Amino acid sequence: MTEDAIPEALTGGCQCGQVRFAATGNPNWVVHCHCSLCRRQTSAPFATWVSVAAGDFAWTDGAPKIFTDSPDRHRGFCAACGTQLVGLSPKWPEEVHILVGALDDPNQVTPILHAYYGDALEWIDTHADSLPRYATLKREGPPLV
């Protein structure tokens, strides 16, 4: 194996620096999510997530406060500065979903698709990219466009 084959760790944290994390290994996927819950939680038009293996993820400073909006959805954020950091769910216990904007270098990852694209805001123009657009995160059915 060459050194090039070893992925660089993903590091990141909140704006105030009290909560920091690191993830090793290859990400499972990177997606833009246009669902209304991600929009509300992040107060942004859409959220970009990178999924990593739970066993590859660690909090390296502090710990997030967890907000549970339903039994299946837990969001981790910094209690001091409010930065949204991760999504967790008993539906995918083997994964941690990290908000790409919390990474020290978001350019380390590259999105592969748009999820919940039917919920995208009318004025979001993502057509400059050629990524497939799906109705859900699970890539069920054909792409929407």
Q: Nearest distance from residue 73's CB to Zn ion, in Å?
A: 9
Contact 72, 95 (CB under 8 A): no
State yes or no: residue 102 binds Zn ion (CB under 5 A). no
Among 35, 50, 99, 102, binds Zn ion (CB under 5 A): 35
DSSP 133: B
Q: Rounded to an integer, what distance in angstroms lies between the CA atom of residue 145 and that of residue 84?
A: 30
| Site for Zn ion contains 98 (CB under 5 A) | no
Does the protein bind Zn ion through residue 99 (CB under 5 A)?
A: no
**C-beta of residue 89 within 8 angstroms of C-beta of residue 72:** yes
Looking at residue 140, the DSSP 8-state letter turns out to be -
DSSP-assigned states of every residue in 104-124: S-GGGS---EEESGGG--TT-
Q: Which of 16, 58, 121, 145 binds Zn ion (CB under 5 A)?
A: 16
Binding residue (CB under 5 A) for Zn ion from 10, 30, 31, 38: 38
Among 53, 54, 80, 131, binds Zn ion (CB under 5 A): 80
Binding segment toward Zn ion, per CB under 5 A, in 1-9, 34-42, 98-106, 117-125: 34-42
The residue type at 103: L
Distances (CA, A) of 3 to 6, 7, 8, 66, 87: 6, 9, 10, 36, 31
Nearer to Zn ion, 58 or 81 (CB): 81
Give the interface segment with Zn ion, choosing from 22-30, 35-43, 97-105, 117-125 (CB under 5 A).
35-43
Fill in the DSSP letter of residue 8: P
Instruction: Name the site residues for Zn ion (rule: CB under 5 A).
Output: 14, 16, 18, 33, 35, 38, 78, 80-81
